[in-house]
Amino acid sequence: MSLPSPSMDQWLAEAKADPSFRACGMYLVHNGTVRETPKQQVRAGIDDGTKVAGMTFSYDRAKVDAAVEACRALPGIEYVRVWLNEGELTLGDDIMYVLIGGDIRPRVIDALQQLVGTIKNECVQEIEQRVEA
């Protein structure tokens, strides 16, 4: 069973209430969701005829915390918040939310890409449940 997803309206309100808002000219949100197309097909073009019906999702909290701290240390990044789901997820379920606030667009975009990449590549385990198409 998946966890209840956070409200992005609430997250943004909280970010703008944080003292860091004075230095933030931009906030970006990433929302990863469970899709039907297998990762190997999307990333490598390998289509074995299966579809994803869901996934088992888990993560290493210490690694995520370290990735968040590294992101906060990037130039111009003032605000970072991450939520990760856990357990048995179905199509359309939220996998993660990442909110980053910073001074200028290029830095915020780069930080978001770096943090999401680190989380996906080093901190989580995704086991797709596949079915024949």
Total residues found in the chain within this entry: 133
Tell whether the model's pLDDT for residue 1 goes beyond 80.
no
Share of the chain above pLDDT 90, in %: 92
Closest CA to 78 of 23, 116, 115: 23
Mean pLDDT value across the chain: 96
The arithmetic mean of pLDDT across residues 107-119, rounded, is 98
Closest CA to 67 of 7, 111, 23, 97: 111
Structure confidence at residue 132 (pLDDT): 83
The predicted model scores a pTM of 0.94
Tens of pLDDT, residue by residue over 6-30, are: 999 999 999 999 999 999 999 999 9
Structure confidence at residue 98 (pLDDT): 98
CATH superfamily of 8-132: Molybdopterin biosynthesis MoaE subunit (3.90.1170.40)
Tell whether the model's pLDDT for residue 133 goes beyond 80.
no
Tens of pLDDT, residue by residue over 25-63, are: 999 999 999 999 999 998 899 999 999 999 999 999 999
Secondary structure (DSSP) of the chain:
-PPPPPPHHHHHHHHHHSGGGGG-SEEEEEEEE--SS-HHHHHH----SEEEEEEEEEE-HHHHHHHHHHHHTSTTEEEEEEEE--EEEETT-EEEEEEEEESSHHHHHHHHHHHHHHIIIIIEEEEEEEEE-
